[in-house]
Amino acid sequence: MKNAGGLLAAICLLAAALGVASVPAAADTLDEIKKRGELVFGGDAEGGGPFVFPRQDDPTQVQGFEIELANLLAARLGVKARFSQGQWGKLPDLLQRGDIDVVLNGYEWTPALGQRFAASLPYYVYELQMLVRKNDDRAKQLSDLGMPGLDGKMRIAVLGGSAAERYLQKAFGNNVEIVSYEGTTDAMQGVEQALDGVDATLQDLPIVTYYEKRFPKLRRLGEPVEPGFYVILARQDDQRLIQALNQAILGCYQDGSFPRVLARYGMWNDTQRRRGLVTDERGNFRPDLPATAPAQAGDAAAPPRRGLWQMLWQDGLGWILVQAAGVTVLLASLAMPLAIFVGLAIAVGRLYGPRFLRPPLGWYVEVIRGTPLVLQLYVIFFILPSWGLAIPAFWAAVFGLALNYSAYEAEIYRAGLQAIPRGQMEAALSLGMSRWLALRRIIIPQAMRVVIPPVMNDFIAMFKDTAVCSLITVVELSKAYYIHAQSTGAVVQLGLVTALLYLAMSYPLSIFVSRMERRLAEGRRHD
Amino acid sequence: MIEITNLCKRFGQTHVLRGVSMAVKKGEVSVLLGPSGGGKSTLLRTINALETFDEGRIRIDNLELTPSEHQEAHIRQIRRRVGMVFQQFNLFPHLTALQNVTEAPRHVLGLSRDEAEKQAKELLCRVGLADKLHARPTTLSGGQQQRVAIARALAMKPEAILFDEPTSALDPRMTAEVVSVVADLAKSGQTMIIVTHSLGFARSVADTIHVMHAGAVAESGPPAQIFEDPQQEVTRTFLDQARND
């Protein structure tokens, strides 16, 4: 599945350098799960089918073979399963933070992950499948792709940082050109439309099975290759939990309940049957699909597309997007006043505060302005908890945005305060006012007026920056769009709806700003 | 009531004030005349602690200002007793004329809104602006603004008012408005120190004139003496130039 992008990888490295120790589980997680009656598992609904994706009849709920697996496993532990949304690449961090009990979302086992976390037995063996266009008969088998003389190198689309990308590098080296995509279906669409000369895409087999119907112009090339293992991750200390989950996984295979789920998603195949890997210590696991399993293969594959109106009204997607827009508005309207307050305090401190305070305030502005918002959010949400300060995601987002913008507001206010003529302060002082009273009653009210246009401008910008907060699991408008665009395939239509919602939020503000500017300009004409 | 003793101030190598001494009695109107750069405005601003100084001392009644005095509360005490009117008026542009006048009494002296407004209306009447109570400074002429500024200073009931070239930014008609207000104040016994370039203004209101040159007082005396019988070469040169302008 998806892997972290370059920037996020860099952030993770930085986090590691800062010495983010794993948060030791205070009590035993298994006992805790049983006590609260809930197994909280992390996944990203944006990853889409067949893993975890919004239900078509009720997009507020999620479905997918992993949801069903979680329900089966939870039932065996005697509890209920609860899905918790998080950005895919950040799920391990959410696990460390203690927001979730386990990660169950197409994470393949790697030695690195095995070192950081406790990993369960594989619950699925996936392979990689090459797809090409049906009308493209240049390659007869997989190995043809790397052959010279196919009029130039083949261009192969993959999910950036995925196992597919690593396999291509290993198997073909420089004989093919690898094109990185951000989403799996985007890559398939790229091949279907030959965007940018892309000839083929290498995908996880479950994804191919699930989305095949949506891309009728594509065909499979060759057999699946390079098996990999999806595992459940838990915190390193939670060996008891992993053992219980292992028992549950085996149980679900043995009684045929999970194979039946896989069959419905068209994911049951010989690879699952053959794998000798899923055996317990007593060796009593029979990996065959039980004869009783109804093999209605492909029942749960991606449904055909629906009209925009149907999706928005009947499926309730419209309401979901509007609610997500509400989260965006709430984030910005809580963060901006805070940013203004802190920014103003910093500007006043830098200009009028005690001398020893001025350099640190200057550094604050430089550091906050000079580092990206994503990094600040990451530190607040993922690193502060290891120092004993765990803030809920929504408030972490509010504080992160406020922190980031406070530096910019501080500079705006500094300019605004400096624009007030010296004579104003002198006149106030000569009337016996204290410096602070003069600032509060005379200088700041005037500066506020001067900076209204740039501050409102930043407010509008903040609406768009809230999108970054999906990094720390806040589902605001952009994230809601990505999730449902992936699950419905209505990338363009929902994109337009989302854009309209953003416009509906920012346009009234823009009008307000231009009115303000006009009023200020009129005020100045009298001078 | 104001006593300045041996005041010295330097900006780096430049001596702006070189041992200025003068006294202003209660009810007296003192005018500082002299060529530009002579230190008149700087002297005025040090009295209100808007400028620091390096040597000497200033006494206002029983309060003393010395070079080492940095306590804000003490400085505020002095400023409350000594009002100031600026060349550029420095009205608060976000407040109406009335609010400009009530601001300090309400928030420094703690007067109630009603008390402060009653007093402010009387003062604005006195400077001839009864019809401009709710006007913003930007909609007023320069003369009107300066009269609001005078009312604002008077609202703190200062024992003395310092005027820093109050008519220099005004045309002759507006100057006349302001001069007549200042003359009224003089008649009512208000202690004032006025820095100006206008000889006519000085002659009409001054009890005592101090001619300042190169950071020191060159000559002091009543207007009749300064204008008709100047004792110092500096004074004669200045008056000749000023009359030719």
The CATH number of whichever domain residue B63 belongs to comes to: 3.40.50.300
CA distance B104 to chain A (A): 6
Residues of chain A neighbouring B76 (CB-CB closer than 8 A) = 432-434
Q: How many domains does chain B divide into?
A: 1
pLDDT at A420: 94
Mean pLDDT of B179-195: 94
Nearest CA in chain A to B50: A426
Q: In the predicted model, what is the mean pLDDT of residues A148-154? A: 66
For residue A300, what pLDDT is reported? 52
- pLDDT band (50, 70, 90) for residue A5: very low
pLDDT at residue B127, rounded to an integer: 93
**Least CA distance to B48: which residue of chain A?**
A430
Given a cut of 50, whether residue A296 has pLDDT beyond it is no
Residue A149 binned pLDDT confidence (cut-offs 50, 70, 90): low
B62: in domain: yes
| Mean pLDDT for the stretch of residues A241-261 | 86
Report yes or no: A526 at the B interface, CB cutoff 8 Å: yes
pLDDT at A298: 47
Q: How far apart are CA B132 and CA B68, in angstroms?
A: 43
Tell me: pLDDT of B242 over 90.
no
- What is the per-residue pLDDT for B13? 84
Is residue B130 domain-resident?
no
Mean pLDDT in chain A? 82
Percentage above 70 pLDDT, chain A:
85
Using CB atoms and an 8 Å cut-off, which of residues 384-443 of chain A contact chain B? 421, 423-424, 426-435, 437, 441-442
Whether the CB of A333 is below 8 Å from some CB of chain B: the reply is no
Domain extent at residue B228: 2-91+160-244
Element (H, E) at A491: helix A491-525
| Nearest Cα to Cα of residue A271 among A128, A163, A142 | A128
Whether A146 shows a pLDDT value over 90: the answer reads: no
Q: Determine the distance in angstroms separating the CA of B165 from the nearest CA of chain A, rounded to an integer.
A: 14
Q: Is B63 within 8 Å of chain A by CB? A: no
Q: Which residues of A touch B96 (CB under 8 A)?
A: none
Residues of A in contact with B104 (CB under 8 A): 431-433
Nearest-CA distance from A443 to chain B in Å? 9
Lowest mean pLDDT of A69-78, A103-112, A178-187, A287-296, name the range: A287-296
User: Minimal Cα–Cα distance from B204 to chain A, Å?
Assistant: 26
Tell me if B146 sits within 8 A of B178, measured CB to CB.
yes
The predicted model scores a pTM of 0.72
DSSP summary character for residue A440: I
Predicted pLDDT of residue A150? 55
More confident residue, A8 or A441: A441
Lowest mean pLDDT among A215-219, A220-224, A511-515, B94-98: A511-515
Specify which of A187-201, A287-301, A475-489, B148-162 reaches the highest per-range mean pLDDT: B148-162
Element (H, E) at A118: strand A118-119
Distance from CA of A513 to the nearest CA of B (A): 19
pLDDT reading at A25 higher than 50: no
Q: Which of A100-114, A442-456, B87-101 has the highest mean pLDDT?
A: B87-101
| pLDDT > 70? residue A488 | yes
- Please list every residue in chain B whose beta carbon sits closer than 8 Å to the beta carbon of residue A437: 107-108
Chain A residue numbers touching B80 (CB-CB < 8 A)? 432
Q: Provide the number of CB pairs (under 8 Å) joining chain A to chain B.
A: 65
What does the alpha-carbon distance between residue A284 and residue A338 come to, in Å, rounded to a whole number?
61
- Closest Cα partner for A346 from A424, A400, A397, A412? A412
CB contact under 8 A, A526 and B103: no
How many angstroms separate the most distant Cα atoms in chain A? 96
Question: Any CB–CB contact under 8 A between A149 and chain B?
Answer: no
Assigned token pair, A439: 């600032």
| Residue B231 is assigned to a structural domain of this protein | yes
For chain A, what is the total number of helices (H) and then of strands (E)? Answer: 21, 12
* In a domain? residue B138: no
Res A159: pLDDT: 81
Confidence tier at A101 by pLDDT (50, 70, 90):
very high
Q: pLDDT tier at A381 (50, 70, 90 boundaries)?
A: confident
Comparing CB atoms, the residue among A424, A430, A437 nearest residue B48 is: A430
Give the pLDDT confidence score for residue A67 in this predicted structure. 92
- The pLDDT assigned to B4 comes to 94
- Is the ipTM above a cut-off of 0.85? yes
Contacts of B139 in chain A (CB under 8 A): 526
Does the distance separating the beta carbons of A430 and B84 come in below 8 Å?
yes
B67 Cβ partners below 8 Å, 6+ apart?
A: B52, B53, B54, B55, B56
Structure confidence at residue A391 (pLDDT): 83
Give the pLDDT band of residue A333 (cuts 50, 70, 90): very high
Q: Which residues of A touch B107 (CB under 8 A)?
A: 433, 437, 441
CB contacts, 8 Å: B153 with chain A: 430-431
A522 pLDDT more than 70: no
Q: What is the pLDDT confidence band of residue A275, given thresholds at 50, 70 and 90?
A: low
Which among A427, A434, A526 has the least Cβ separation from residue B72? A434
Cβ–Cβ contact B88 with A under 8 A? yes
Please list, residue by residue across A205-239, b when 16 or more beta carbons sit within 10 angstroms of its beta carbon and e when fewer do: bbbbbbbbebbeebeebeebebbbbbbbbbbbebe
* A111 vs B214, higher pLDDT: B214
Please count the other Cβ atoms lying within 10 Å of the Cβ belonging to residue A242.
Answer: 23
What totals of helices (H) and strands (E) does chain B contain, helices first? 9, 10
Q: Does B41 touch chain A (CB under 8 A)?
A: no
Kindly report the nearest CA distance between residue B141 and chain A, in angstroms.
10
**pLDDT > 90? residue A413:** yes
Q: List pLDDT tens digits, range B30-60.
A: 999 988 888 899 999 999 999 999 999 999 9
Closest chain B C-alpha to A432 CA, distance in angstroms: 5
Strand blocks (E) in A182-257:
200-204, 218-230, 233-234
When pLDDT is averaged across residues A75-81 and rounded to a whole number, the result is: 93
Report how far apart, in Å, the C-alpha atoms of A434 and of each of A272, A430, B2, B141 are. 79, 10, 23, 29
Angle at A426 between CA A422 and CA A427, to 5 degrees: 115
Of B86, B94, B156, Cβ closest to residue A423: B86
**Residue B222: inside a domain:** yes
A179 — pLDDT class (breaks 50, 70, 90):
confident
Q: What is the mean pLDDT of residues A220-249?
A: 87
Find which of A269-273, B37-41, B209-213 is predicted with most confidence, using mean pLDDT. B209-213
Closest CB to A434: pick one of B76, B86, B93.
Answer: B76
DSSP A305: P
Using a 10 angstrom Cβ sphere, with 0-12 exposed, 13-18 middle and 19 or more buried, the burial of residue A131 is buried
Residue B206: pLDDT over 60:
yes
pLDDT: which is higher, B25 or B70 = B25
Provide, as residue numbers in chain A, all residues whose Cβ is less than 8 Å from the Cβ of B103: 431, 441-442
pLDDT of residue A395: 92
Q: Is the pLDDT of residue A94 over 90?
A: no
Task: Specify the pLDDT at position A9.
Answer: 47
Q: What does the pLDDT average to over A204-210?
A: 88
Beta bridge partner(s), residue A200: A132, A156
User: What local confidence, expressed as pLDDT, does residue A281 receive?
Assistant: 42
Give the closest residue to B65 by CA, choosing from B129, B109, B132, B3: B3
Please, which pLDDT band fits residue A279 given cuts at 50, 70 and 90? very low
Residue B110 lies in a domain: no
A424 Cα to chain B: minimum distance (Å): 6
Mean predicted lDDT score pLDDT of chain B: 92
Residue A259: its pLDDT value, please?
A: 87
Does B239 fall in a domain?
A: yes
Please state the rounded mean pLDDT for residues A48-68: 85
Asked whether the beta carbons of A399 and A391 are under 8 A apart, the reply is: yes
The average pLDDT across A50-67 equals: 85
For the record, the structure tokens of A165 come out as: 């990308």
Residue of B nearest to A437 (CA): B107
A427 contacts in B (CB within 8 Å)? Answer: 84, 86, 90-92, 149
User: Which range, A20-34, A117-131, B138-152, is most confident?
Assistant: B138-152
**Is the pLDDT at A92 greater than 90, yes or no?**
no
> How sure is the predictor about A122, in pLDDT bands with cuts at 50, 70 and 90?
confident
What confidence category does residue B25 fall into, taking pLDDT thresholds of 50, 70 and 90?
Answer: very high
Backbone angles phi, psi at A423, to 5 degrees: -60, -25
Once rounded to an integer, what is the mean pLDDT over residues A302-307? 67
Whole-number pLDDT of residue A140: 80
Count how many residues are written for chain B.
245
CB contact under 8 A, B88 and A424: no
Give me the pLDDT at residue A24, please. 45
Full set of structural domains in chain A with CATH: 6-123+231-304 (3.40.190.10), 126-228 (3.40.190.10), 317-525 (1.10.3720.10)
CA distance A427 to chain B (A): 6
Residue B53 lies in a domain: yes
Q: What is the DSSP letter of A408?
A: H
Q: Which of B79, B93, B156 sits opposite A446 (nearest CB)?
A: B93
For residue B217, the cross-strand partners are B212
